[in-house]
Chains A and B, each alone.
Chain A
Amino acid sequence: MTAQTIVSIKPLLAVLASLLAVPCIILSRRTVNLREAWTFAAAVIKFAMVVSLLPLILSGAQAEYTIARVLPGFALQLRVDAMGMLFALVSSFLWIITSVYSLGYMRGLQEHSQTRYFCFFALSLSATIGVAFSANLLTLYLFYEMLSLSTYPLVTHHQDRQARSSGRKYLFFILGTSIGMVLPAMIFIAVKTGTLDFASQGIILDKIDPQVVTVLLLLFVFGFAKAAIMPFHAWLPAAMVAPTPVSALLHAVAVVKVGVFCIARMITGIFGTELLSALELSTMLCVIAAVTILVSSFIALTQDDLKRRLAFSTIGQLSYIVLGMALLSKSAMTGGLLHIAMHAFGKITLFFCAGAIFVATGVKNITQMVGIGRQMPLTMSAFFIGALSVIGLPPCGGFISKWHLAIGTVEAGQYTMLAVLLVSSLLNAAYFLPIVYRSFFHQPEEGMFEGPRAEPPLWCLLPLLLSAGLSIVFFFYPQPFLRLARLAVQGIMGG
């Protein structure tokens, strides 16, 4: 089936909204309120642009815009389809919330170089939407690299020894894999097939040897190291030295989801589900994802730094999405795509809470958080909801995506993967729920948390309550995301 395609400049505007905010932010660096106003304006305009495309996408059409023909036969081109829409919707909406949170967090801690911080944050979001709307692999690669480079100054924001070593790790994994693995694989496909456009049944069917296809697939799956598939995951825990809003939006939503989104695009748009199932590569991908899911969950159990524990949890959850795509069954794919949204809302809540605890009390480690619920009941309640969503329990959005994933494993007949999902859920519960339990029901240590209630600043508190609330709302009304995911799967699998 061929979708109706409409030429529209809106996708480009959605990408540019935050890019154009950068000079404004730099120019108004002396008046901080104006500077933050630019961020909000850009965020709202970007979200409005994305939303204005939603009805079009839901009606089954696509929007397209060609920026430039940079190579003969290959253009920089944007195309909005259901899958990209789903991702863009989540990240552009969460940018608004995160901007509010950034305001509270950065001012609360009186961080330095806030202008630089907001500039590169805006750049990162441009790149994220660019990836979501890319019509071909070349455009995707361009925005992928732009995202890698614009998050580097955010990861290394503190400019100290630890930031430098984390920055090195970040570059080594992210740039090293994209230049060393994705770039040659991409050019190889371009030479052999003459195109890089994402097509619903892939572009390399019958054009490349099966053995080479396997190598290419592995180059892409590991090469998009933003998806943090083991053993290319080590940058993510290291990147937690960044300020918490960065960890929250970029390292739980934008950057890492760009990684899995790229892998999903490769599986559906470049290789094609038909080819992968014909070559029986599905099982190989599933095993890679399953290993990451289980190992990261076990490592998460041992982490005492809350943000690091969240990071390892993210690594596991990202592989859920990869698993969903790799199973190649309708429900699993729906679940995987849905998980992009559901996990985003749950995990960003958890990161917001971790940051809020740090702003209010200066505590980072889980062992010091005993009894903290007495002092920060709202924050910890939100943490509880976020945790439920990530574990995949009702009444939270995470349940919906895991439900589809589980059904998908049965549809594909991969019962081992069903077991992996269930074990992983148990492990998730084991590393999240004790934190909540101890914070409410255990006595705090002497001298800790004895004062009156001390919630974080309002600017920090509101976003996390909102995202926690939305996690619950999406359990009852998953419609926008569910419809987009189903539409996307329909486009891929037909029918």
Chain B
Amino acid sequence: MAAHYPAIIVTVPLFGALIITALWWFDKRLCYPISLLAGTVSLAASVGLFLDVLSRGVIEYRLGGWPPPIGIVYRIDHLNGLILVVVSLVSLLNLAGSRSVAEKEFRDKVGAFYGLYLLFTTGLLGMLITGDAFNLYVLLEIASLTGYALIGMGSGRAALSGLHYLFMGTIGASLYLLGIGCLYLMTGSLNMTDIARILPTLVPSNVVLLAFVLCLSGLFVKMALLPLHAWLPNAYTYSPSVVSSLVAPLTTKVMIYALFRITLTIFSFDFAFNSIAVRQPIIWLAVAAIFFGSLLALSQKRLKKMLAFIVVAEVGYMVGGFWLGNRAGMSGAVLHIINDAVMTLCVFMAAGAIVHKLEDDRLSVMKGVFRKMPVTMAAMVVGGLSLIGVPPTCGFFSKWYLIAGGIAAGQYPFVAALIFSSLVNTVLFFRLFEIGYFLPFEQPKRYHQYNPDSFFRYSGRRAEAPVDLLVPLVITALLLIALGIFSGEIVTRVITQAIPVTLG
């Protein structure tokens, strides 16, 4: 059993999705428990696998018993072992809180939602676990296609935003595929370690350089690094809130992981940082992403769109931190993948709870929301403080490493951008808190129709989100503080092993 953890992680949600797709024609009530079960099994297997990696080191799992480089190999080290746990945990937490919201939002399409949800998670987990460059592309497409569908399930402009995402996402995936094609052309292999073994014999080669640039550009589109971010804000704003709290914390983070994996495992640190001069331009892109992402977030009138632009800025944190090319910067980037996944989940879930109750995410309707939804807003405060970077929440510690890395590398514009973004996040969140805390309740101008939810929107009474949403939300908020307190442990025991040992 324990030896097959890698297969369980991916196949259980995959088959869960298939079962749900078949079963929901008969009984819709089965969808939620089945997907919850699949998510839990997947999380348990991830944790087990991670503990294995901690005690035994890198694990290779041959899918179907085929030996590499012909067969597909799942390769788990400290880096993806840790991120697997986080991704399956985030997915499960969001899933646990989805029941009331999904029933209200999707009604009779709830089966399709849960099927896609599990398939999307399968794609992301597969991308993390695989040691095969082409397999990564396949799973990337699984995650992307289900992502487009999930986003398109919303109302209003959701379908259009989903289509926009589909166009951009397809271009990104195609670029990545072209890059892998070039590599296959040169090396005749798709296995990452195998390619890495062959590549040094080919350098200098323009085709390899082209492959690197193509892979990188494809992933930059997928992770929405400025100026390729245009698909992201609308897709995350108009999608159903339970979808945005799944897609927003995970998609960009897994893409950034893929960037790390491709750069470090396939092309090697030496090639990416020393042989070619892409480091400085990418850091400038990251600085621009942080700077403009924050500024654009400042100009938003809708809560979810504001959070979406914060995601754009956060992508700059991780990309920039990684390309600093020193120990502190890379540790910060890896730590921030974990922390940012949890804190984005926290704020998007809280936003989802608010949207669920108020049926609107404009900041101007959030007057008095602290009194109406104290628990939700408490979680929002913790998430906000973490995004600002206030200790002891985890956001502070990853920011610490990133800034320390920037100072050690002498990249002061990057440091300035990080500080700037923290200050802007302060304004963003305290503006929300001010509206929710100070402003009086608005009397309704007209009742188009009486329904209990829109009634709550205008009354000052407690109208907290459903308990099944609040419990995971509160767990997420507490997790932010726990991650902060244990970040020393995480870095020394896990992340140090995840980044190249040669770094000073």
Contact = CB atoms under 8 A, between A and B. Distances in A.
B408 A71 contact: no
B407 A188 contact: yes
Contact of B484 (A70, A163, A183, A192): A70
Contact of A163 (B388, B403, B438): B438
11 contacts: A70-B391, A72-B488, A72-B491, A142-B391, A145-B390, A149-B385, A156-B437, A163-B438, A175-B426, A176-B423, A183-B403
Interface string A321-350: 000000000000000000000000000000
Given A70-B485, A164-B438, A171 B403 contact: no
Q: Tell me whether chain B's interface is mostly helix, strand or loop, or mixed.
A: helix
A69 interface: yes
A198 interface: no
A68 B328 CA distance: 20
A179 B434 contact: no
A70 B481 CA distance: 12
A159 B437 contact: yes
B404 A191 contact: yes
Contacts of B397: 70-71
Nearest to B381: A149
Contact of A142 (B392, B401, B422, B492): B392
B387 interface: no
Given A71-B400, A187-B407, A164 B434 contact: yes
A167 B491 CA distance: 37
B430 interface: yes
Most buried by B among A71, A163, A190: A71
Kindly state the interface size class of chain B when it binds its partner.
Answer: 20 to 34
Contacts of B263: none
Contacts of A175: 426
B389 interface: yes
B492 A72 contact: yes
B487 A70 contact: yes
A210 interface: no
B139 interface: no
Nearest to B487: A70
Contacts of B438: 156, 159-160, 163-164
B423 A71 contact: no
A179 B488 contact: no
- Leading 10 A-B pairs by shortest Cβ distance: A142-B391, A69-B488, A70-B488, A191-B407, A187-B403, A164-B438, A191-B404, A145-B390, A179-B422, A187-B404
Contact of A179 (B415, B423, B485, B487): B423
A434 interface: no
Most buried by B among A68, A179, A192: A179
Q: Tell me whether chain A's interface is mostly helix, strand or loop, or mixed.
A: helix
A187 B409 CA distance: 13
A176 B484 contact: no
Given A156-B438, A164-B438, A141 B389 contact: no
A418 B332 CA distance: 50
B419 interface: yes
B403 A184 contact: yes
Interface string A163-192: 110011001000110011001100110111
Nearest to A143: B391
Contacts of A138: 391
Interface string B471-504: 0000000000000111111011000000000000
Interface residues of A, number: 32
Nearest to A142: B391
A164 B434 CA distance: 7
Nearest to B418: A184
Contacts of A192: 407
Contacts of B437: 156, 159
Nearest to A158: B438
A187 B434 contact: no
Nearest to B438: A164
A146 B438 CA distance: 21
Nearest to A181: B419
B400 A171 contact: no
Contacts of B390: 145, 149
B408 to A, nearest CB: 5
B423 A180 contact: yes
B338 to A, nearest CB: 15
Contacts of B328: 191
B419 A179 contact: yes
B419 A180 contact: yes
Contact of B426 (A76, A141, A163, A176): A176
A187 B400 contact: yes
Given A68-B485, A183-B403, A190-B404, A171 B392 contact: no
B478 to A, nearest CB: 14
A413 to B, nearest CB: 38
B487 A184 contact: no
Contacts of B407: 184, 187-188, 191-192
A27 B125 CA distance: 42
Given A69-B488, A149-B385, A191-B404, A171 B415 contact: no
A490 B489 CA distance: 38
A72 B423 CA distance: 26
Most buried by B among A70, A167, A168, A184: A70
A159 B390 CA distance: 24
Given A175-B426, A179-B389, 16 more contacts: A68-B485, A68-B488, A69-B488, A70-B397, A70-B488, A71-B401, A149-B390, A159-B438, A163-B438, A168-B434, A179-B422, A179-B423, A183-B389, A183-B403, A183-B419, A184-B419
A176 B425 CA distance: 11
A24 B422 CA distance: 33
Interface string A249-262: 00000000000000
